[in-house]
Chains A and B, each alone.
Chain A
């Protein structure tokens, strides 16, 4: 019994991990683009990006998932995205917005004097970004990134509203057979995964402890 449940939960957990990994793969770079947009010196672009970030961060991810999956069909009669893809799109957009703010915080925390020093030395803007700013940014955004990644692991549970069979869905299906422990057993999977992430981020922080 334990074996059967474990296997079926692992199957659901596969979907969970896939969603987690693909979301990061796309939202980390997209976040950087959004971040540059939100710091643009071209005001209209900045406003558009900031409004977009406000809408995405200001509304529940659950709604965004529902709208991206059902919206095209309901509003325009268009064919739907596959369930998993719709979930992924919603997650990538949502997390990219959060990441963009983390990046912005990191970039703007590097003091003005360092840009000026770079300019005095005759470095170009991109040289300053890659050779001076970036290393410090990476170091500073590690803790908030760790937070966000751990939240992402747990947020994946939301996609069950559009019938993506992640681990909680699999665990809940046992309730119909009169077994409630598989639902709580799913917690072990989350705890182990997030434990590994915590260790990873702790290690990264130490590794990047190159200057104060």
Chain B
């Protein structure tokens, strides 16, 4: 499965390069004007509590990111439209204008910064190791992790950390599947986002028998637009204003992420 993905990634990057060659410089038009003209801001997301998710039995996307995206669209005077995307394809979705923004608790990695026009960071995050609660005592340090079978989302910040530590892992297509790996016993541990771990595991969640131990790094979340888009500036201005008005903290508190929000 992993090799299939690699081949895919290769072909897609070829297409991407071809595309850039074919239409180089055609992005001179204002992205902001483009979005305003069509009247909708298409937000690319995945199902990722507490940032973007749906309540049981509801069709509306909510969460810290979803609610702020709605506010941003309102600020621009356009409708918001959420599209659940395949996370591997986010850069292509943006470049082909299938979506206008990636707003889904996205870690600002070097790779992301090369592919997208990124906002200023708005949230702190880290990669944490998730293990079954009953063995958590044994894995409190980075040294204790060698020998474990890990799972991590393919190409995620967590996978990068594991690579850096020289630990091997099974690549899954979502972070949720990495959690499934541990819950089902297929892997000993997985590495996922701290914010996601906070919301998805432990008592009162879908995975009460799991817990997280070591935090491997700290990193920042940002919002991704098309390269050189003027929406980046529009976003940064909007965010500062919303922060000063207290809206950001208010929404963050609703979803329990207020401690991670970066002060502006």
Inter-subunit contact B96/A80 (CB<8 Å): yes
Inter-subunit contact A76/B86 (CB<8 Å): no
Inter-subunit contact A74/B16 (CB<8 Å): yes
Inter-subunit contact B96/A74 (CB<8 Å): yes
Chain A residues near B16 (CB, 8 Å)? 74
Of all chain B residues, the one with the shortest Cβ separation from A63 is B11
Closest CB of chain A to B59's CB: distance in Å?
11
Q: Given A160-B86, A178-B183: A73 and B176 within 8 A (CB)?
A: no
Inter-subunit contact B206/A165 (CB<8 Å): no
Q: How large is the interface on A (under 10, 10 to 19, 20 to 34, 35 or more residues)?
A: 20 to 34
Asked if A21 CB lies within 8 Å of chain B CBs, one says no
Contact flags (1/0) for B187-227 with A, using CB distance below 8 Å? 00000000000000000011100000000000000000000
Of all chain A residues, the one with the shortest Cβ separation from B15 is A74
What is B's interface to A at a CB cutoff of 8 Å?
A: 8, 11-12, 15-16, 18-19, 22-23, 26, 47-49, 57, 83-86, 89, 92, 95-98, 174, 176-177, 180, 183-184, 205-207
Select one of B8, B47, B180, B205 contacting A180, CB under 8 A.
B180
Of all chain A residues, the one with the shortest Cβ separation from B14 is A74
Chain A residues near B180 (CB, 8 Å)? 175, 180
Q: Top 7 closest A-B pairs, CB basis?
A: A73-B96, A178-B206, A74-B19, A77-B23, A176-B176, A74-B15, A75-B19
Select one of A4, A70, A77 contacting B22, CB under 8 A.
A77
List 15 A-B pairs, Cβ < 8 Å.
Answer: A69-B98, A70-B98, A73-B96, A73-B98, A74-B15, A74-B95, A75-B15, A77-B19, A77-B23, A83-B98, A175-B176, A176-B176, A177-B206, A178-B205, A180-B180
Give the CA-CA distance A20 to B260 in the complex, in Å.
46
Inter-subunit contact A163/B97 (CB<8 Å): no
Closest CB of chain B to A64's CB: distance in Å?
11
Chain A residues near B8 (CB, 8 Å)? 62-63, 66
Select one of A4, A69, A73 contacting B19, CB under 8 A.
A73
Inter-subunit contact B97/A79 (CB<8 Å): yes
Asked if A197 CB lies within 8 Å of chain B CBs, one says no
Asked if A161 CB lies within 8 Å of chain B CBs, one says yes
Inter-subunit contact B206/A76 (CB<8 Å): no
Select one of A66, A72, A83, A175 contacting B12, CB under 8 A.
A66
Closest CB of chain B to A79's CB: distance in Å?
7
Chain A residues near B84 (CB, 8 Å)? 163, 165
Select one of A67, A175, A180 contacting B15, CB under 8 A.
A67
Of all chain B residues, the one with the shortest Cβ separation from A72 is B96
Chain A residues near B12 (CB, 8 Å)? 66, 70
Contact flags (1/0) for A97-127 with B, using CB distance below 8 Å? 0000000000000000000000000000000
Of all chain B residues, the one with the shortest Cβ separation from A62 is B8
